[in-house]
Amino acid sequence: MDQVIQVVGALLLLSGFAATQFRWLDPRSYLNLVLNFSGSLILAILAAEERQWGFLLLEGVWSLVSLSGLIRKVIDREPAVTH
């Protein structure tokens, strides 16, 4: 089952990466940030369980950077204009 979860995490990360490389997604879009955060978080958790410290460092930092991008995007979001 761990293998399936790992593949899901990797596919989330890779789909965001590929979509930004092909310019289908803006690198700062919510979708890309969520794909990166969720995929890297899944892989970081699995790395921690398996005590794979290098992989945990990579995925943990990746998830924290993605999370900080999401937080900045939410905080900096302009309020909707109502008429």
DSSP string, 5-17: HHHHHHHHHHHHH
Q: Is residue 83 assigned to a domain?
A: no
Residue 10 CA to residue 73 CA, distance in Å, equals 24
Chain segment 7-29, per-residue pLDDT in tens? 999 999 999 999 999 999 999 89
Q: Is residue 54 assigned to a domain?
A: yes
The number of folded domains in the chain is: 1
pTM of the model: 0.87
- Looking up tokens 């309020």 gives 79
Q: How many CB atoms lie within 10 A of CB 69?
A: 19
Q: Which domain holds residue 59?
A: 2-76
**pLDDT given at position 76:** 86
The tokens of 43 are what?
């892989």
